[in-house]
Amino acid sequence: KGSMLITSNRDFSEWIDVFDNPLLGSAAMDRLVHKAIKVSIEGDSFRTRQFKNNQKQIFKLDNNKINS
């Protein structure tokens, strides 16, 4: 036995739509949520923030080249 961590960018209510067969999807979800702890995190993802910061740095570098 061990721990399992599953992440998704979809709301839990949408997971059933991911499976082609609703019966299989329902069975999989039933087994996953048994004794599970659900954690919902809202807001921009870390990767989105990092991308935006990288774009700002690139823009600053380009401006420095132009102004030199």
* pTM recorded for the entire structure: 0.47
Judged against a pLDDT cut of 60, whether residue 68 lies above it is answered with: no
- What pLDDT shows up at residue 62? 64
8 neighbors 15 (Cβ within 8 angstroms): yes
Per-domain residue ranges for the chain?
Answer: 12-67
| pLDDT tens string 18-59 | 888 888 888 888 888 888 888 888 887 778 888 887 877 776
Q: At a CB cut-off of 8 Å and minimum separation 6, what does 38 contact?
A: 12
- Give CA angle at 66 (65, 68), nearest 5°: 65
Q: Is 10 left (phi over 0), alpha (psi -120 to 50) or beta?
A: beta
